[in-house]
Amino acid sequence: MRDIKAYLDAQVEARNCADELCNERPDPLMVARRFKEEHHSLTCALFAYGNAKAIVSFLSSLEQDLIDADEAHLRRRLEGKYYRFQSNEDIVQWFITLRALKAAGGAEKVFMDGYTDGFIPGLNALITTLYDLNPYRSKGYEFLITKPIASIAKASAMKRWMMYLRWMVRNNELDMGLWRGVDQSDLIMPLDTHTFNVSRRLGLLKRSQCNLQAAIELTEVFKKFDPYDPVKYDFALYRLGQEKSFLENEAEDIKIPV
């Protein structure tokens, strides 16, 4: 039997390397890291749903300078492009919004203005600003941005946003650390199906729904492992769930310390 903390610490250390982001194991972070720019990274994070290879293929087709293009230029360059729930118009309007966000001072500034009242108010400020900057609405566009968190009890896990904030705040071989002033202990686990299933299998998480309450609960568990950087376990958990062999072969050999 192995200690859960020791096992996960070893997994974090082993996976904190550039080789973890490769064509054989695609991840949207590998596209974001090519430019290490907050707005291009936001595009990479919010479009990060679905099959990993399809995500990376789509993101790789988007040039970083699209954010600075005017609408006519955008429409020419993005003609015919769509992604799952986002129509061509949704994608054009997203870049129009992103350009306006950059002109308004950028994602970090908007987040920090709300962060004075806490982490979730910071996130809500950024989401609300995106809607305020562009009156365009559609199901695909709103799915991309999501809604501000009105109630923790009713909110989804906000995985793509929590992943983006992890990228921006933490600084290692994976995360980019582009922002300053956000305490990494305030980050919330980017909970998705993979991390949710692994965490439940290990007994770290009791909740039956993959939502924001579960993400916060799991973050609190990891604060017992590392109070200063609880979200460092996210990528390792994600990979373990993605690889599936862990759920089939390893979980029962690991114990949770009393």
Whether the predicted pLDDT of 256 surpasses 60: no
Place of tokens 């009890």: 153
**pLDDT at res. 241:** 87
**pLDDT at res. 1:** 35
Q: If pLDDT is split at 50, 70 and 90, which confidence band does 257 have?
A: very low
Whether the predicted pLDDT of 104 surpasses 90: yes
Q: CA 217 to CA 118: how far, in whole Å?
A: 17
The dihedral formed by the CA atoms of 174, 5, 246 and 159, expressed in degrees to the nearest 10: -50
Alpha helices in the chain (DSSP H): 4-15, 28-35, 38-46, 52-60, 71-77, 88-103, 107-115, 119-133, 139-145, 159-169, 193-201, 212-225, 234-243, 245
Place of tokens 């305020």: 132
Q: CA 248 to CA 168: how far, in whole Å?
A: 33
**pLDDT at res. 60:** 96
Percent of the chain with pLDDT over 70: 93
Per-residue pLDDT reduced to its tens digit, 4-15: 999 999 999 999
Domain boundaries, the chain: 2-255
Torsions phi, psi for 171 (to 5 deg): -135, 105
**pLDDT at res. 23:** 87
* Neighbouring residues of 1: CB distance < 8 A, sequence distance ≥ 6: 253, 254, 255
**Between vectors from CA 230 to CA 218 and to CA 15, what angle results, nearest 5°?**
105
Whether the predicted pLDDT of 212 surpasses 80: yes
**Mean pLDDT, residues 134-139 taken together:** 98
Per-residue pLDDT reduced to its tens digit, 47-66: 999 999 999 999 999 998 99
**pLDDT at res. 245:** 58
Helix axes of 4-15 and 212-225: crossing angle, nearest 10 degrees: 100
Q: CA 202 to CA 253: how far, in whole Å?
A: 10
**Mean pLDDT, residues 97-118 taken together:** 98
Percent of the chain with pLDDT over 90: 88
Whether the predicted pLDDT of 258 surpasses 60: no
**Mean pLDDT, residues 152-171 taken together:** 98
Least confident of 86-100, 162-176, 238-252: 238-252
**Mean pLDDT, residues 202-217 taken together:** 96
**pLDDT at res. 250:** 62
Whether the predicted pLDDT of 228 surpasses 70: yes
Give the other-Cβ count within 10 Å of 162's Cβ.
Answer: 24
